[in-house]
Amino acid sequence: MRWKLGGGVTAIAMLGAVTGSATDSGVAQRAAWRATYAAPATIPFPDENPYSRAKAVLGRKLFFDPILSADRDRACVTCHLPDLAWADGRRRAPTRADSDTDLRTPTLLNLAWQEGRLGWDGKFRDLESVAFVPISAPGNMGLPVEDAVARLSADAAYVAAFKEAYADPGVTKARIEAALATFQRLIVSGASPFDRWIAGDEAAIPVAAKRGFDLFNGRANCAACHGGWAFTDGSFHDIGTAVGADLGRGRFVTNSQVLRYAFKTPGLREVAGRGAYMHDGSIAALEAVIDLYDRGGIDRPSRSPEIRPLNLSADEKADLLAFLRTLNSEPGTGPALADLTEAAPRP
């Protein structure tokens, strides 16, 4: 169902949503919002790196294989664990020396839909260009590109897998990157109660969560940055969290005030199960995240104009939380990565 709202209608509808009343306009507004969260029908793959089963199979093998680390003791899966929403559940990612890095491991869910740059501060141009940063970083997997290529070239099973994927047995950096990216684009979040509700099942989520959805899209303004099915705009904002030295996107774009302390908006799928939160793991619990937004974060020139104190009541905070909890997928609905198909799998 599609709703077209003129400016006047929107204003009245907003009022209905804000007061939480089940007026006709409040119902229309909620329906309009719901239409913006429809699940995608297909996974997008870039023209330069289209889906093929052989590439995805190779990427999956590489993702889980410690052969890509200097000491053969780490793989991508060391920090991006399927059971922890493809993150690691830690406050900060661990270095090889078992100290902590400055950053929390982000989830890899739904990156196929991420059009802009990746990384908390946008240091990665695209998904393909990420792989050799963790592989070669001395504090992480610690394997130089030439060594990675040499090791895989000396392994008959890999040579066969590269031949299958690229019709040529040559192992190259670009082919490793393309295969890993193809596999990662299949990492799509499973169906959640929220998705069933969006699809029309009114009983799928509690009434409190529906009020939380209205707040999320209305007065609490969360959807300004976390709108749409993947719950991220893929952009960078200062929401008033960081107090450290990390300037985020502002490290690269030095002439922009609003990019100081700006970090990438994380998607919110599986969010209730995968704290700590924020780029630096500085917030342990989801309740405390909502409190941060309620306060409006640190008031400073770089803070996004979309962030301001919300003055939520205790009931409203509980409603927002109830809504966020509906974004966790139901058992058995995750991506079918064990049994990859010839055609690109559907989400």
289 near ligand HEC (CB under 6 A): yes
Shortest reach from residue 212's CB to ligand HEC, in Å: 9
DSSP codes, 44-102: ---TTS---HHHHHHHHHHHH-GGGSTTS---HHHHSBGGGTTB-SSSSPBPTTS-B-S
**Tell me, what DSSP letter sits at residue 277?**
B
338 burial via Cβ count (<10 Å: 0-12, 13-18, 19+):
exposed
277 near ligand HEC (CB under 6 A): yes
Residue 150's H or E segment, with its range, is helix 145-153
Nearer to ligand HEC, 3 or 252 (CB): 252
Phi, psi of 262 (to 5 degrees): -90, 130
79 near ligand HEC (CB under 6 A): yes
Q: Which of 278, 322, 327, 344 binds ligand HEC (CB under 6 A)?
A: 278
Asked whether 161 and 54 are in contact (CB, 8 A), the reply is yes
Shortest reach from residue 81's CB to ligand HEC, in Å: 10
Nearer to ligand HEC, 91 or 196 (CB): 91
Nearer to ligand HEC, 71 or 201 (CB): 71
What is d(CA 55, CA 178) in angstroms, rounded to the nearest whole number?
A: 8
Asked whether 43 and 56 are in contact (CB, 8 A), the reply is no
Q: Pick the closest to residue 148 from 136, 157, 140, 159 (CA basis).
A: 136
**Helix (H, G, I), strand (E, B), or coil: what is residue 264?**
strand
Give the number of residues in contact with ligand HEC, rule: CB under 6 A: 53
Q: Pick the closest to residue 262 from 286, 235, 233 (CA basis).
A: 235
Q: Which of residues 186-225 bind ligand HEC (CB under 6 A)?
A: 220-222, 224-225
Nearer to ligand HEC, 52 or 265 (CB): 265
Candidate segments 26-34, 152-160, 163-171, 257-265, binder of ligand HEC by CB under 6 A: 257-265
Nearer to ligand HEC, 13 or 230 (CB): 230
Q: Which of 14, 108, 148, 327 binds ligand HEC (CB under 6 A)?
A: 108
Binding site for ligand HEC (CB under 6 A): 74, 76, 78-80, 93-94, 101, 103, 105-106, 108, 111, 118-120, 123, 127, 130-131, 134-135, 140-141, 180, 184, 220-222, 224-226, 237, 239, 241-242, 263-266, 268, 271, 277-279, 286, 289-290, 293, 304, 306-307, 320
